[in-house]
Amino acid sequence: MRTLSPAGWFGFAATSLCATVLAFFWPGVAHYDSVAQYQQVVSGAYYDWHPPAMARLWTVFYRLGWTGQAPMFALQTLFYWIGLGLVAAALARSGARKAALGVFALGLWPPLLGWQALVVKDGQMAAALLCATGLVAWKRLQGRPLGWSGTAALVLLLGYAALVRSNAIFAVAPLAVGLFAPWRWRDWRRRFVLIGATTLAVLALSPMINHGLFGAEPSDVEATQPLFDIAGIAHRAGPEAVPLLPTTTWRRIEAKRCHSSVLWDIFSIGKRCDFIQRGLAGRPRREIFSAWARAIGEHPGSYLSHRFAHWNATTRWFVPWHFPQAVPQAQSLPNRLALGSPGRQLVVYNRFAGWLANSPAGAPILALGVALAVLALARPAQSAAHGLAVPLALSATAMELSFLFVSIASDWRYHLWSMLAAWLSAILLVTEPLPKRRAWIALAGLALIALSALAARLMLPQIGDDYQALIR
Its pTM stands at: 0.95
Cα–Cα distances in angstroms (integers) from residue 411 to residues 150, 189, 263, 329, in the given order: 34, 34, 9, 12
Give the end-to-end CA distance of the chain in Å, rounded to a whole number.
58
Yes or no: say if 79 and 134 are a contact pair by the CB < 8 Å rule. Answer: no
Q: What is the pLDDT of residue 278?
A: 83
Residue 11 has what pLDDT?
96
What is the separation of C-alpha 18 from the centre of its chain, rounded to a whole number of angstroms? 21
Residue 2's pLDDT is 60
Is 422 within 8 Å of 392 (Cβ atoms)?
A: yes
Q: What is the pLDDT of residue 471?
A: 62
Count CB neighbours of 433 within 10 A. Answer: 9
| Total residues found in the chain within this entry | 472
Determine the distance from the C-alpha atom of residue 155 to the mean position of all C-alpha atoms in its chain, rounded to a whole number.
Answer: 20
Question: Taking the chain (472 residues) in consecutive chunks of 10 residues, what is each chunk's mean pLDDT?
Answer: 83 97 97 94 93 96 97 98 98 96 98 97 98 97 93 97 96 97 91 96 95 92 91 92 89 86 83 83 88 96 97 96 91 94 93 96 98 97 95 98 95 97 98 95 98 97 73 61
| pLDDT value at residue 272 | 83
Q: What are phi and psi of 217, to 5 degrees?
A: -80, 145
Predicted confidence at residue 282, as pLDDT, reads 79
- The Cα-based distances of 379 to 112, 382, 419 in angstroms read 28, 6, 22
pLDDT at 134 (0 to 100): 98
Taking phi over 0 as left and psi of -120 to 50 as alpha, with beta for the rest, 143 belongs to left
